[in-house]
Amino acid sequence: MTDTAIITPDGVSATAQTVENSYVAPDERVLDPSTLTTSLLERMPNPTGYRMLILPYRGKGVTSGGIALSRQTVDEDQIQTVVGYVLKQGPAAYKDKDKFPDGPWCKEKDWIVFPRYGGSRFKIEGGEVRVLNDDEVIATIINPDDILSF
């Protein structure tokens, strides 16, 4: 949960924030999207075509009764979650007027609901991200804590 030293393409040493640093204390909102710096987003994969890059919601790590969950349990729940934050959209996302006559179903910086095991999952430093097709979005939501995934 610390910044990581990196060497930029021009050979300059820099400090980079990790996705892990964007998760905040459980009594606050668990993922604070405003902490995702531009440089961190730039280093994440850019979805191609009609795909979107999603950061799955990890939950609070505490049950409603106040029992702390192990990191392994929280990580497993992140894999099974149905809620995520839209980080990026590919250039063709929601451009098909026949498929989306009423316009986009969501936009960058929205919280969405998607199929439990939908998309392609892969790990990055500090967590996991998914790449979903634009038509895999089931709903948009305001607060990710409103959806219980287990």
Residue 81: predicted pLDDT? 75
Using CA atoms, how far apart are residues 114 and 85, in angstroms rounded to an integer?
11
Tell me, what's the pLDDT at 101?
A: 96
Q: How far apart are the two ends of the chain, measured CA to CA in Å?
A: 26
Q: Which residues of the chain have pLDDT under 50?
A: 1-2, 6, 12-13, 150
Q: Which domains does the chain have, with CATH numbers?
A: 4-146 (2.30.33.40)
pLDDT, residue 35, reads 73
Q: What is the pTM of this model?
A: 0.69
> What's the CA angle centered on 109, arms 130 and 74, to 5 degrees?
45
Cα 132 to Cα 50: distance, rounded to the nearest angstrom:
9
Tell me the CB-side half-sphere exposure of residue 103, using CA atoms within 13 A. Answer: 2
pLDDT digits (tens, 9 = 90+) for 63-92: 667 677 676 666 666 556 789 999 999 999
Give the SS3 label for residue 66.
coil
**Distance separating alpha carbons of residues 110 and 140, to the nearest angstrom:** 7
Question: What per-residue confidence (pLDDT) applies to 136?
Answer: 95
